[in-house]
Amino acid sequence: MSKYLVNKFLYTVDRDPELVERYREHPGETVAWWEQEEAGRILGCHGAERSSWLMLTDAERTALAGHDYVALFELGAHPFLTLTLFIALFERDYAEPLAFQHEYAARLRHWRLPYPDIAT
């Protein structure tokens, strides 16, 4: 489990307009590039100072590459990060206001408390 790294992907993509579009159009390529080039970047530090040990699990990589927000919820990704980024990715494809958010909730409706642990 590397919830922290999943969250770091969601966080760093969500705050960058170009990455949001790249992830929408080419999710598998974006996740592979990001894990190779960006996962070890220590935010706020010079690029040469990198973390050496951060790696997604297969399940996390598959969930991110598949735009699978249900799996991300179940893996314990921070739900605010997931929701915010996925609204940016897909709300535009729905005609009615909040339609994407309602579908998102419906796809999670098999979940009861306690939800997956989001502590990192």
50/37 Cα distance (integer angstroms): 10
Told to check if 115 binds another protein by CB under 8 A, we report yes
31/9 Cα distance (integer angstroms): 8
109/104 Cα distance (integer angstroms): 9
| Site of tokens 């929408």 | 24
| Site of tokens 């220590």 | 42
The CA-based diameter of the chain, rounded to the nearest angstrom, is: 46
Q: Which is nearer to another protein, 23 or 104 (CB)?
A: 104
Told to check if 8 binds another protein by CB under 8 A, we report yes
Residues 32-91 touching another protein, rule: CB under 8 A, are: 42-43, 69, 73, 78-84, 87-88
Q: Which is nearer to another protein, 33 or 111 (CB)?
A: 111
Region of 44 please: left (phi>0), alpha (psi -120 to 50) or beta: left
Contact region with another protein (CB under 8 A), list: 22-30, 32-40, 59-67, 104-112:
104-112
| Minimum distance of another protein from residue 55's CB (angstroms) | 16
Interacting residues toward another protein by CB under 8 A = 4, 7-8, 11, 14-15, 17, 42-43, 69, 73, 78-84, 87-88, 98, 101-102, 104-106, 108-111, 113-115, 118-120
